[in-house]
Structure 1
Amino acid sequence: MVEKELFAIFMDGVFIKNFILIQFLGLCPFMGVTKDVKSAAGISAAVIFVMTLASFVTYLVYTYVLVPTGMEFLDVISFIVVIASLVQLVEFVVRKNIPSLYRSLGIYLPLITTNCAVLGVVLLSVNSTYNFAQTVVFGASAGIGFMIVMLLMSAIRERSAILNVPSAIKGLPLGFFIATLLSLAFVNYFWVIPI
């Protein structure tokens, strides 16, 4: 029973409540970093790490610090501090170990701090009253859903760069058109699957 419940939460995070295509959170890196697959994969790995670890840490902070002291109203502020700290850690590791990826991501790596998808996953976990395992599974699955969409979008955008696309819709307009089609596919397919 527990495994089935965790699987349902996993599918919920990856497909049904996909943060980019269903909830429209995290659109800045979605449109800015998906010009090539390598950058999209790099930012996706960073987001998966931050979402999973932020879910882990914020659950502990909320459950064992904020709730016992009656300061639940500080949840957003404390979550932002946790997320910003984790992003600084990721930025340091990427800059030190993979400088080419650090240069290709540019401003989008530190912008994970303000990525509303990361804050959204921890707030939804708290509002859904998930236990510890459910919170971590939801955080990881939301990151995986983010990665799937980022890689799909970057592959389509790379392919469309070599096609004969009218100049009036090249770039951002084409990106939004592709995002619309992907969103329609996710909504129409994954909302009808019973879990």
Structure 2
Amino acid sequence: MEHLELFFKAIFIDNMVFATFLGMCSYLAVSKKVSTAVGLGAAVIFVMAITVPLNWLLDQYLLQEGALSWLGEEYADYDLSFLSFIMFIATIATMVQLVEIIVEKFSPSLYNSLGIFLPLIAVNCAILGGSLFMQSREIPTLGLAFNYGISSGIGWFLAILAIAAIREKIRYSNVPAPLRGLGITFIITGLMAIGFMSFGGMLTGGDEKEETTETASIEVVAPSQESSITEEVETVVDSTTINEPQIIE
């Protein structure tokens, strides 16, 4: 259940584009064609699925305070958290180079269409944001870190795929001149963000249900207390004698 909740939250509610507006440069520049958006989105999923778990391992066994205790007691007080940015970016850059080599080998047309934005994945703030959010949220296990990496990548993939499909159709629409290009794209992105954020109510409904149940239980207990108080009052009244006034004829 925890894995499923994290999966849907990372895709819809905490979407990298619509919730935190990370990776907007590639999102706007490579979303003119669906084919290009699919290629870049798949590359982002691959990179995040590998880098987030790797950076989790680095954070747990190297960077956190006391993470080096496995080397011995004399290393238990070391804190290398100040190296987080450097280590995370190094891991991301290595994986991006691997993706670039694979894409160039098996799909030269996609490699040419992505152009400079494929190597720029290394400095894509959405990729680094996934690792930093993983660290700040203190994800406890490697499995959850892998889940978060894949789901965050899928969320970014859905965002760029949706806006690319809309932008292909909107070419044939009569858009007002001042809004053509990035203007209407930002408006559509804002409307899509509202739609994605609306999924938050679906995943938080259980908490509201529990609160309603607790309130109902309190209301059930209250009448029983009132009835006991009423019985005590009637008992006191019966035990006392009330002198009725005498009628003088």
Scaled by the length of structure 2, the TM-score of the pair is: 0.74
Superposition deviation, residue 60 in structure 1: 1.5
Distance in 2 of aligned mates of 1:165 and 1:105: 27
| Secondary structure of the corresponding residue to residue 203 of structure 2 | coil
- Residue 100 of structure 1: which of 98, 103, 109 is its match? 109
Distance in 1 of aligned mates of 2:172 and 2:110: 23
Runs of 4+ that moved beyond 4 A: none
Name the residue aligned to 2:142: 132
Name the residue aligned to 1:185: 195
Superposition deviation, residue 167 in structure 1: 2.9
Structure 1, unaligned runs of 5 or more: none
Name the residue aligned to 2:13: 16
Superposition deviation, residue 111 in structure 1: 1.1
Superposition deviation, residue 57 in structure 1: 1.1
Letter in 1 for 2:83: L
Name the residue aligned to 1:58: 55
Distance in 2 of aligned mates of 1:181 and 1:126: 30
Identity across aligned pairs (percent)? 40
Residues 33-79 of structure 1, C-alpha deviation per residue, up to 9 Å, x if partnerless? Answer: 11010000000000000011001211122222223153122111100
Superposition deviation, residue 180 in structure 1: 1.1
Considering Cα pairs closer than 8 Å and 6+ residues apart, tell me whether 1 or 2 has the greater RCO. 1
- Residue 159 of structure 2: which of 140, 146, 149 is its match? 149
| Secondary structure of the corresponding residue to residue 55 of structure 1 | helix
Letter in 2 for 1:42: G
- Residue 80 of structure 2: which of 63, 68, 71 is its match? 71
Name the residue aligned to 1:165: 175
Name the residue aligned to 1:5: 2
Letter in 2 for 1:17: D
| Secondary structure of the corresponding residue to residue 21 of structure 1 | coil
Residues 126-167 of structure 1, C-alpha deviation per residue, up to 9 Å, x if partnerless? Answer: 111111111110010000011111111100000001222233
Distance in 1 of aligned mates of 2:19 and 2:79: 33
Letter in 1 for 2:193: S
| Secondary structure of the corresponding residue to residue 117 of structure 1 | helix
| Secondary structure of the corresponding residue to residue 185 of structure 1 | helix
- Corresponding pairs, count: 191
Larger Rg: 2
Q: Indicate the RMSD between aligned Cα atoms, in angstroms.
A: 1.1
Is residue 49 from structure 1 mapped to residue 46 from structure 2 by the alignment? yes
Superposition deviation, residue 15 in structure 1: 0.7
Superposition deviation, residue 92 in structure 1: 1.1
Is residue 111 from structure 1 mapped to residue 120 from structure 2 by the alignment? yes
Superposition deviation, residue 171 in structure 1: 1.1
Distance in 2 of aligned mates of 1:10 and 1:57: 18
